[in-house]
């Protein structure tokens, strides 16, 4: 069975808890369960992780070199980390960048562009936790079609 890493960056573990509701009302535990159900339905083994540490996220991206695909919500590191982007560029497998909110409609102008999108096969944003599920289904299709990152 194909394997995909689903990596989440800083503060993702607090989804559903922010007062603004920017990242939805569903907590991270529920999102985690939702993703595993979607992966099972799509025929993927999912390695789902979250870290608040940039170095650990980079290590995990490098570890994904042995996987069939990478799904990543690098959260705030998407906008700041050239190192995460560089690690992603070393992958030959498909990469899907996911954001819970529509980063292009956010008020802060720096959120309109991400370094991680420069290393991604595709991006999904603005669909909340549903975007995570859709990304898993899309990843399964990319893997089945033999698609590499490029």
Catalytic residues: 23, 99
Long-range contacts of 77-81 (CB under 8 A, 24+ apart): 77/9, 77/10, 77/116, 78/9, 78/103, 78/114, 78/115, 78/116, 78/117, 79/110, 79/111, 79/113, 79/114, 79/115, 80/115, 81/54, 81/57, 81/115, 81/116
What is the C-alpha radius of gyration for the chain, rounded to an integer number of angstroms? 14
Count the Cβ atoms, other than its own, within 10 Å of residue 54: 17
């Amino acid at each position: 069975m194909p394997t995909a890493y689903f990596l989440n960056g800083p503060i993702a573990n607090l989804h559903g808890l922010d007062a603004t509701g920017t990242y939805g009302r569903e907590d991270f535990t529920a999102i985690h369960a939702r993703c595993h159900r979607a992966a099972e339905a799509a025929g993927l083994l999912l390695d789902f992780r979250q870290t608040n540490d940039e170095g650990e996220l980079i290590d995990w991206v490098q570890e994904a070199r042995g996987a069939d695909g990478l799904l990543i919500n690098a959260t705030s590191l998407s906008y700041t980390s050239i190192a995460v982007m560089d690690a992603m560029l070393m992958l030959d497998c498909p990469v899907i960048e996911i954001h819970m909110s529509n980063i292009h409609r956010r008020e802060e102008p720096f959120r309109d562009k991400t370094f991680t999108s420069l290393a991604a096969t595709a991006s999904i944003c603005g669909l909340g936790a549903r975007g995570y599920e859709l990304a898993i289904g899309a990843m399964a299709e990319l893997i089945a079609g033999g698609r590499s990152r490029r």
